[in-house]
């Protein structure tokens, strides 16, 4: 049994495609068997809504009169520094950027109440954002300073570009020390007082396509409530890790670099977030459709939380000191 993407797209255009979620397909395969399920189901939808620190947005703000060149100068959005080492009026704001006057962890644990992820959320929500920039001035770009309010509806471009999203499995974080610690995995209580994890398990995109049979460069996705695309593999992409017999990785493995037009995304599906004692980030929704092209593909999408194992890692010592120690494994059903 095999299908083509063209055949599935034609069924979608005619309103005849059978689309189910990654949770629904588990029972379908159990009840009907993989061969029949692969014949009947055309698309399996996957998704996640998690903190994605390696995210940010390129903005083209348009030219002032007289012209100014941000490149080589400094620039801020709501007092959060943005990268200005590009052309005249392009800047990049990272989700983890912080205002210069944020006390960070000088007052421990720091609150990190506002940063890059919040600026991107405010832009998407249509709020006016303060922009300030200084430049050194040139003959063709003579202006040396600008302060104004910008709005996403008025600037030329707002492109979300995230270099590492949708991690294919990840650590379960615990704390073996006798004090509370503050991490990007959240607050960890002493003496194994809690365990934090960050994966959608059986719904997670790359856990449903463990061998990257359908998800790759150019895949059209739902990003922040709007249309996005897989641009490349993400940074730290490492498919060569320990895997179970079902080929699902048991460690952090694949990642995706994603891109999309921020202007057509939706508030609520992209949020700035503050992690006490760690910093700021952005919580982002990602939805990826998996076309059912073969029995092999639907078997992969039928993976359940019971079949997905994640490593337990001590974040008080092993993680910060780059020790390879794994305390054990746990399934997402147990989590």
CA 242, 50, 266, 19 torsion: positive or negative? Answer: positive
The tokens for 235 are: 């940074």
Report the pLDDT value the prediction gives residue 2, as an integer from 0 to 100.
84
Per DSSP, the chain holds a count of helices (H) and strands (E) of 5, 20
What gap in Å lies between CA 80 and CA 234, rounded to an integer? 25
39: nearest Cα among 304, 308, 294: 294
What gap in Å lies between CA 185 and CA 130, rounded to an integer? 31
pLDDT in 10s for each residue of the chain, 335 residues: 789 999 999 999 999 999 999 999 999 999 999 999 999 999 999 999 999 999 999 999 999 999 999 999 999 999 999 999 999 999 999 999 999 999 999 999 999 999 999 999 999 999 999 999 999 999 999 999 999 999 999 999 999 999 999 999 999 999 999 999 999 999 999 999 999 999 999 999 999 999 999 999 999 999 999 999 999 999 999 999 999 999 999 999 999 999 999 999 999 999 999 999 999 999 999 999 999 999 999 999 999 999 999 999 999 999 999 999 999 999 999 99
Distances (CA, A) of 243 to 151, 215, 247, 308, 332: 46, 19, 5, 10, 15
- Rounded to 5°, the CA angle 229-231-234 comes to 115
Report the pLDDT value the prediction gives residue 157, as an integer from 0 to 100.
98
Q: Active-site residue numbers?
A: 140
**Residues 236, 255: contact at Cβ < 8 Å?**
yes
What gap in Å lies between CA 29 and CA 24, rounded to an integer? 9
Report the pLDDT value the prediction gives residue 309, as an integer from 0 to 100.
98
């Amino acid at each position: 049994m095999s299908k083509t993407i063209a055949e599935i797209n034609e069924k979608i255009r005619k309103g005849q495609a059978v689309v189910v979620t990654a949770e629904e397909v588990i029972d379908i395969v159990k009840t009907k068997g993989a061969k029949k399920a692969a014949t009947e189901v055309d698309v399996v939808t996957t998704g996640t809504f998690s903190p994605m620190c390696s995210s940010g947005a390129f903005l083209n703000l348009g030219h002032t009169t007289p012209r100014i060149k941000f490149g080589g100068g400094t620039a801020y959005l709501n007092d959060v520094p943005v990268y200005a080492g590009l052309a005249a009026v392009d800047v990049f704001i990272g989700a983890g950027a912080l205002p210069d006057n944020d006390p960070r962890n000088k007052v421990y644990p720091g609150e990190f109440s506002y940063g890059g992820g919040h600026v991107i959320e405010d832009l998407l929500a249509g709020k006016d954002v303060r922009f300030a920039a200084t430049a050194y001035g040139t003959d063709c770009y003579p202006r040396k300073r600008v302060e104004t309010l910008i709005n996403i509806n008025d600037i030329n471009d707002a492109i979300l570009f995230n270099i590492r999203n949708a991690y294919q499995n990840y650590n379960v974080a615990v704390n073996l020390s006798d004090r509370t610690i503050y991490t990007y995995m959240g607050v960890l209580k002493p003496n194994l007082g809690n365990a934090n994890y960050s994966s959608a398990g059986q719904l997670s995109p790359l856990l449903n396509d463990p061998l990257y049979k359908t998800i790759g460069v150019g895949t059209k996705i739902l990003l922040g409530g709007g249309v996005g695309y897989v641009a490349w593999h993400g940074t730290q992409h490492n498919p060569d890790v320990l895997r179970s017999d079902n080929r699902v990785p048991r460690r952090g493995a694949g990642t995706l670099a994603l891109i999309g037009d921020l202007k057509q995304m939706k508030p609520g599906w992209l949020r700035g977030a503050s992690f006490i004692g760690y910093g700021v980030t952005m919580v982002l929704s990602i939805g990826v459709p998996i076309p059912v092209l073969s029995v092999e593909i639907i078997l992969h999408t039928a993976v359940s939380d019971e079949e997905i194992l994640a490593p337990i890692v001590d974040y008080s010592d092993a993680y910060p000191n780059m020790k390879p120690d794994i305390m054990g494994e746990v399934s997402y059903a147990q989590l």
